[in-house]
């Protein structure tokens, strides 16, 4: 009991310290955050603070090695307090997005890289470098959820071992050929904490999916008039600037996050509705990109998400009683 | 929302609405009027008298009426007047009675009097829950719903008896089981959601198989997308040999597979979302073969055959079964099916572009896709041109006539150029165009594009570095190529350095730095042997899988190197090592032949070259070496030499050595102008030969 108390106050004061050091970096840390009784939670969820930090990350020289905010993110992640690590992860879409779009510009990015490597190192350590694997059982063997009429021949079911995420090696720097993997692993961690992430963070993620895809959802474009298209042509070219290679090691965690934003959220909430729309848009962009890359696995995965969106619209509520004119006892 | 629609539609049918019980019926007009003016008690009294009901039953019916009219708030108020505890106790008493099962008709439930009433009350509590849900009081709704379930569980501790199957009571219970986890999910209480899903699925509730399939599907979707780690299910009775999933992914896939199985056994109604969830889950973990197997078992008719072929083709092409994938696509592209399906056309063309023998067919598919783009799918125009270019390029590489080859090459360049003008930001295109220029020996353009590729990809692709080094090597700029290779080595982790080290060794040989090259080969050997020890099945990285350097290649390379240094003994040792790995290889035999030849043992060399050609009849280096020896054997042997060398050139039109020796043959035979042409070709090629074939990066 007493040790718990200590660790709680410890965590509280660390969050307080984080807020304190943030006041020297940001123009004005919002009052509710400073006065909050649960500082870590406020850091994670305060929309105004998030906007300030996001603006900061988007500034032209934000990724440099001596950048104060990067330093803060790095230190905050290194407190090893889960609730403070969540705060850093909350900005991962923004950091990864801005970072990747600046690679071809040859800007100094050591600050962003330090944060990304910290997240990667954390995941490597907590997985002990091991691969994430699952077993897939053939449904012809009995399981906790079903029996089988045929008496099974083998004592234990035949399982198919599948690697979801390969083994990890420690990385001291971001070598360019490992960049996608390091960001992919960071996104895997983000995905595992997705239930805790504020909606705005997921919205940021969807925004960058569209930029990375570099592909408008042209599928709907065919219906538009040609001259209208020409007018839009110019803005389109500008938007495509952030197009990046999307190797599977990055696309896979991206799609898992996106699938959550599409199917895993409760759409009755207003903010979630906005997220759902953004995720639909991102999904169509990535589908267009998968077609452009003629990437069968991505076409299958994203195609099924698009079909699920379609089915959602015509969903029948089976928990509803049939409406009849004659009501029987 | 749904309330409004049902109340407006009910207005039209107002006259027809009535409530029936105990053999008589009442019109609801008066009752509805009383309800609308807030006189619930009066309305209840009317109903009680008219249909001889008790108070709870009357309230339940009134509530249902209000609910159906879309007045959820009013319905909720009516339901609040029901004594839930009493109703549950009554249910408890009937569960102990012996229940006579009657066939169910449209007008009457299969329950007798008191049970019927109890069911009505249960249904009322259920509707109360639904009303709360619609009033956006999700937590209250979930609590209420849970109460019903707790009660049902208390009443039927061993599951619901068979006698209740097909009764309205059972229907209500099924609905409760379906609704509760959804409510918890909506309320954000994920652990409650998980336990109520498992509660529904792990106990024998006699849920009808359709609702059971829906609950399984909903739970699978929850596990896949909610982001909540559910932890493994626990059961009190574990049967030996029964599979227990350990995490969300495993559990979701299992549930979906059970659904698929029940669909194909005809036990549950087909639900298209199940197959989409499964497609997503299995493609995310790259298990398209398992997906294909599942899809093959789907009963015919539920998925359109062309869609099915297409999905199966995607699954096959993903695991490199090109032939099967192409056959499936062809079925779908048949003129009586969907000949214009652009995605199928593109994938077919892409598959063909990877195989010289299919490239011609691929050109046809790509052109069909291109025509298709004129009407619709304009955004895919660039992709069509791209695959068209790739098919032309591949076709060119296998073409046997010079004229045709240069025509195809320029077609390839034309298509790719056009594609890149449409999609300047597509870095893959930049790479492909660079390769195409390189093969065309337009090295300046190739160099420019290769540099551009490294810039836009931020040096993240190994193949970009390798291409740049090869182009520089083709320009005979070996030391610069080595600098590029070193830069690439810096950007690559040790495990992935194999192809770069191999390249570096070759670059050092080209600069006659043989000792340095041997050093590099030693590094490479150490790396490969370390990989052999530690690479388990779980280790795979995206870029390297197919291009990992194998040990055989290294021994072979070292053997060639030692042979050129006349260190025969070392060369023999390396060849021996190579033979331990690949027992019979044309390449090893060729190196052996070269050693004999260099030592002046021409007869042995000849015999070995012939052996090498017996192993692989199209092995070009042996053809050239054999041809070269023949050309030294005087006039009668010249035709043999000429045939051999021409044959080599047919297979590899840009082989410098073949042109050189062919030049000697022409010269000896007195065809001086032919000889000049051949020598010229050889000297031009010498200036543009890369250290490894450009094809090796593709």
pLDDT digits (tens, 9 = 90+) for B589-616: 999 999 999 999 999 999 999 999 999 9
Q: Are A204 and A261 in contact (CB under 8 A)?
A: no
Which residues of chain A are within 8 Å of residue B484 when distances are taken between CB atoms? none
A215 and A187 together in one domain: no
Which of B31 and B258 is assigned the larger pLDDT?
Answer: B258
Any A CB within 8 A of B535 CB: no
Task: Tell me the C-alpha distance between B334 and B314, whole Å.
Answer: 17
* Mean pLDDT, rounded, for A203-216: 92
Task: Tell me the C-alpha distance between B44 and B59, whole Å.
Answer: 6
Query: Cβ of A137 and B250 within 8 Å?
Result: yes
The two beta strands, B18-21 and A326-328, are parallel
Q: Are B244 and A159 in contact (CB under 8 A)?
A: no
Any A CB within 8 A of B473 CB: no
Q: At what angle do helices A82-90 and A110-127 cross, to 10 degrees?
A: 130
Reported as half-sphere exposure (CB side, CA atoms, 13 A), residue A10 has a value of: 10
A31 and A112 together in one domain: yes
Task: Tell me the C-alpha distance between B128 and B146, whole Å.
Answer: 12
Task: Tell me the C-alpha distance between A38 and A23, whole Å.
Answer: 17
pLDDT digits (tens, 9 = 90+) for B102-121: 444 434 444 455 566 667 77
A154 inside domain: no
pLDDT digits (tens, 9 = 90+) for B65-106: 888 888 888 888 888 877 777 777 766 666 655 444 444 443
A215 inside domain: yes
User: CB-based contacts of B633: which residues, under 8 Å, 6+ apart?
Assistant: B641
The domains located in chain B, with CATH, are 208-233+244-303 (no CATH), 627-698 (1.25.40)
A139 inside domain: no
pTM of the model: 0.89
Q: What is the predicted pLDDT for the residue at B172?
A: 85
What's A319's DSSP letter?
Answer: T
Query: Cβ of A222 and B227 within 8 Å?
Result: no
Q: Are B427 and B457 in contact (CB under 8 A)?
A: yes
- Chain A residue at shortest CA distance from B311: A300
Instruction: Please give the interface size between A and B, counted as residue pairs whose CB atoms are below 8 Å apart.
Output: 293
A172 and A291 together in one domain: no
Output the six-digit token pair for A232: 């839009």
Res A174 pLDDT > 90: yes
A204 inside domain: yes
A172 and A57 together in one domain: yes
A56 and A167 together in one domain: yes
User: CB-based contacts of B117: which residues, under 8 Å, 6+ apart?
Assistant: A329, B54, B56, B57, B90
Task: State in Å, rounded, how far the first CA of chain B is from the last one.
Answer: 57
Return the residue matching tokens 């009134």.
B62
A120 inside domain: yes
Q: Comparing A81-85, B375-379, B425-429, which segment has the lowest mean pLDDT?
A: B375-379
pLDDT digits (tens, 9 = 90+) for A269-316: 788 899 999 999 999 999 999 999 999 999 999 999 999 999 988 878
Kindly report the CA angle at A127 between A125 and A128, in degrees rounded to 5? Answer: 60
Res B632 pLDDT > 80: yes
Query: Cβ of B495 and A169 within 8 Å?
Result: yes
A25 and A174 together in one domain: yes
Would you call B249 exposed, middle or buried from its count of C-beta atoms within 10 A (0-12, 13-18, 19+)?
A: buried
| Closest C-alpha to B19, from B71, B70, B68 | B68
User: Which of A318-322, B207-211, B500-504, B551-555 is predicted most confidently?
Assistant: B500-504
A281 and A181 together in one domain: no
Task: Tell me the C-alpha distance between A296 and B322, whole Å.
Answer: 12
Question: Residue A153's CB: how many other CB atoms inside 10 A?
Answer: 9
A87 and A203 together in one domain: no
A98 inside domain: yes
pLDDT confidence bin for A138, thresholds 50/70/90: confident
Host domain of residue A278: 198-315
* Mean pLDDT, rounded, for B625-643: 91
A52 and A186 together in one domain: yes
SS3 assignment for B362-388: HHHHHHHHHHHHHHCCHHHHHHHHHHH
List, as ranges, residues 184-223 from A with C-beta within 8 Å of B.
191-195, 214-216, 218-219, 221-222
A265 and A302 together in one domain: yes
- Give the distance from CA A273 to its chain's centroid: 17
A260 and A118 together in one domain: no
- Boundary of a domain, candidates A150, A177, A195: A195
Facing A319 at nearest CB: one of B16, B178, B377: B178
* Mean pLDDT, rounded, for B624-637: 91
A189 inside domain: yes
Task: Tell me the C-alpha distance between B84 and B96, whole Å.
Answer: 19
Question: Residue B542's CB: how many other CB atoms inside 10 A?
Answer: 16
- The number of domains in chain A is 2
- Give the distance from CA B316 to its chain's centroid: 9
Angular region, B23: left φ>0, alpha ψ -120 to 50, beta rest: left
- Chain A residue at shortest CA distance from B382: A292
* Mean pLDDT, rounded, for A199-219: 87
Average pLDDT value over all residues in chain B: 86
Task: Tell me the C-alpha distance between A328 and A63, whole Å.
Answer: 70
List, as ranges, residues 147-176 from A with C-beta within 8 Å of B.
152, 154-157, 159-164, 166-167, 169, 171, 175-176
Facing A145 at nearest CB: one of B254, B376, B492: B254
* Mean pLDDT, rounded, for B146-168: 75
What's A146's DSSP letter?
Answer: B
Query: Cβ of A181 and B136 within 8 Å?
Result: no
Q: Are B688 and B447 in contact (CB under 8 A)?
A: no
pLDDT confidence bin for B346, thresholds 50/70/90: very high
- Boundary of a domain, candidates A149, A174, A195: A195
Facing A294 at nearest CB: one of B175, B286, B347: B347
Task: Tell me the C-alpha distance between B551 and B236, whole Å.
Answer: 53
Query: Cβ of A326 and B25 within 8 Å?
Result: yes
Which residues of chain B are within 8 Å of residue A143 when distances are taken between CB atoms? 242-245, 254, 258
Facing A157 at nearest CB: one of B222, B243, B261: B243
A42 and A111 together in one domain: yes
pLDDT digits (tens, 9 = 90+) for A216-269: 765 554 444 444 444 444 444 444 678 999 999 999 999 999 999 999 888 777
Q: What is the predicted pLDDT for the residue at A149?
A: 59
How far are the Cα atoms of B58, B261, B265, B296, B305 from residue B299, in angstroms, in the given order?
47, 10, 9, 8, 11
How far are the Cα atoms of A129, B624, B641, B642 from residue B631, in angstroms, in the given order?
60, 10, 5, 8
Any A CB within 8 A of B211 CB: yes
Task: Tell me the C-alpha distance between A184 and A252, whole Å.
Answer: 8
pLDDT digits (tens, 9 = 90+) for B299-313: 888 899 999 999 999
Which residues of chain B are within 8 Å of residue A260 when distances are taken between CB atoms? 225-227
């Amino acid at each position: 009991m007493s040790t718990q108390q200590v660790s709680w106050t410890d965590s509280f004061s660390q969050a307080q310290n984080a807020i304190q050091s943030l006041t020297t970096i940001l123009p004005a840390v919002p009052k509710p955050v400073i006065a909050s009784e649960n500082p870590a939670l406020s850091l994670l969820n305060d929309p105004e603070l998030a906007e300030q930090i996001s603006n900061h990350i988007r500034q032209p020289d934000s990724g440099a090695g001596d950048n104060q905010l990067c330093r803060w993110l790095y230190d905050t992640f290194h407190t090893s307090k889960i609730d403070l690590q969540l705060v850093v992860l909350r900005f991962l879409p923004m950091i990864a997005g801005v970072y990747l779009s600046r690679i071809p510009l040859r800007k100094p990015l050591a600050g962003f890289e330090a944060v990304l490597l910290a997240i990667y190192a954390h995941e490597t350590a907590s997985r002990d470098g091991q691969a994430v694997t699952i077993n897939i059982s053939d449904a012809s063997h009995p399981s906790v959820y079903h029996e089988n009429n045929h008496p099974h021949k083998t004592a234990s079911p035949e399982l198919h071992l599948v690697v979801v995420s390969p083994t990890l090696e420690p990385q001291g720097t971001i070598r360019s050929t490992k960049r996608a993997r390091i960001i992919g692993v960071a996104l895997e961690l983000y995905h595992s904490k997705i239930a805790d992430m504020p909606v705005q963070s997921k919205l940021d993620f969807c925004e960058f999916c569209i930029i990375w895809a570099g592909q408008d959802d042209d599928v709907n474009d065919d219906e538009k008039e040609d001259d209208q298209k020409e007018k839009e042509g110019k803005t389109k070219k500008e938007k495509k600037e952030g197009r990046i290679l999307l190797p599977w090691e990055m696309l896979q965690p991206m799609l898992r996050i996106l699938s959550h934003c599409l199917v895993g959220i409760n759409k009755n909430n207003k903010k979630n509705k906005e997220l759902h729309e953004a995720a639909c848009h991102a999904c169509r962009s990535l589908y267009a990109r998968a077609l452009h890359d003629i990437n069968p696995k991505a076409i299958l995965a994203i195609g099924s998400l698009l079909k699920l969106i379609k089915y959602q619209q015509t969903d029948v509520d089976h928990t509803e009683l049939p409406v009849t004119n004659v009501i029987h006892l | 929302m749904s309330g409004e629609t049902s109340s407006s539609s009910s207005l039209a049918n107002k006259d027809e609405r009535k409530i029936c019980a105990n053999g008589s019926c009442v019109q609801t007009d008066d009752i509805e009027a009383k309800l609308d003016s807030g006189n619930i008690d009066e309305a209840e009294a009317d109903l009680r008298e008219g249909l001889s009901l008790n108070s709870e039953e009357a309230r339940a019916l009134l509530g249902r009426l209000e609910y159906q009219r879309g007045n959820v708030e009013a319905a909720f108020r009516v339901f609040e007047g029901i004594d839930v505890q009493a109703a549950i106790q009554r249910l408890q008493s009937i569960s102990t009675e012996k229940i006579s099962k009657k066939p169910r008709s449209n007008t009457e439930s299969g329950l007798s009097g008191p049970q019927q009433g109890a069911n009505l009350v249960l249904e009322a509590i259920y509707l109360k829950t639904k009303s709360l849900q619609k009033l956006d009081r999700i937590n209250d709704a979930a609590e209420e719903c849970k109460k019903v379930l707790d009660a049902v569980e208390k009443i039927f501790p061993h599951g619901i008896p068979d006698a209740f199957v097909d009764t309205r009571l059972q229907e209500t219970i099924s609905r409760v089981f379906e609704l509760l986890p959804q409510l918890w999910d909506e309320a954000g209480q994920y652990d409650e959601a998980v336990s109520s899903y498992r509660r529904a699925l792990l106990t024998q509730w006699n849920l009808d198989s359709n609702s059971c399939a829906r609950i399984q599907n909903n739970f699978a979707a929850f596990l896949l997308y909610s982001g909540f780690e559910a932890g493994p299910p626990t059961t009190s009775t574990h049967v030996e040999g029964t599979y227990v999933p350990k995490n969300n992914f495993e559990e979701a896939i299992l549930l979906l597979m059970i659904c698929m199985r029940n669909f194909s056994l005809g036990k549950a109604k087909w639900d298209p979302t199940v197959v989409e969830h499964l497609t997503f889950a299995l493609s995310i973990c790259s298990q398209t073969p398992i997906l294909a197997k599942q899809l093959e078992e789907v009963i015919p008719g539920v998925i359109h055959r062309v869609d099915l072929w297409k999905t199966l083709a995607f699954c096959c092409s993903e695991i490199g079964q090109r032939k099967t994938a192409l056959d499936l696509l062809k079925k779908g592209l048949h003129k009586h099916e969907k000949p214009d399906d652009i995605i199928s056309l593109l994938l077919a063309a892409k598959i063909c572009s990877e195989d010289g023998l299919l490239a011609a067919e691929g050109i046809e598919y790509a052109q069909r896709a291109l025509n298709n783009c004129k009407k619709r799918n304009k955004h895919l125009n660039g992709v069509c041109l791209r695959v068209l270019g790739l098919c032309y390029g591949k076709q060119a590489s296998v073409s046997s006539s010079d004229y045709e080859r240069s025509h195809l090459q320029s077609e390839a360049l034309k298509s790719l150029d056009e594609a890149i003008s449409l999609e300047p930001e597509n870095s893959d295109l930049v790479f492909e165009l660079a390769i195409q220029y390189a093969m065309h020996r337009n090295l300046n353009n190739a160099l420019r594009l290769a540099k551009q590729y490294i810039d836009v990809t931020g040096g993240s692709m190994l193949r970009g570095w390798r291409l740049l080094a090869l182009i520089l090597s083709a320009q005979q700029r070996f030391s610069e190529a080595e600098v590029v290779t070193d830069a690439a080595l810096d950007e690559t982790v040790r495990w992935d350095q194999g192809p770069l080290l191999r390249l570096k060794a070759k670059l050092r040989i080209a600069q006659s730095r043989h000792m340095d090259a041997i050093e590099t080969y030693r590094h490479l050997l150490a790396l490969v042997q370390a990989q052999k020890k530690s690479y388990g099945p779980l280790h795979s990285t995206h870029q390297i899988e197919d291009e990992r350097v194998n040990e055989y290649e290294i021994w072979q390379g070292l053997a060639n190197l030692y042979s050129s240094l006349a260190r025969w003994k070392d060369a023999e040792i390396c060849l021996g090592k190579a033979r331990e790995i690949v027992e019979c290889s044309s390449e090893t035999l060729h190196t052996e032949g070269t050693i004999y030849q260099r030592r002046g043992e021409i007869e042995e060399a000849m015999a070995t070259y012939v052996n090498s050609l017996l192993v692989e009849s199209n092995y070009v280096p042996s053809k050239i070496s054999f041809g070269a020896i023949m050309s030294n054997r005087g006039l009668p042997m010249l035709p043999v030499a000429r045939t051999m060398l021409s044959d080599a050139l047919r297979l590899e039109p840009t082989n410098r050595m073949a042109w050189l020796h062919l030049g000697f043959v022409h010269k000896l035979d007195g065809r001086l102008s032919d000889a000049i042409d051949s020598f010229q070709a050889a000297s031009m090629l010498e200036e543009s030969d890369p250290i490894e074939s450009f094809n090796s990066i593709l």
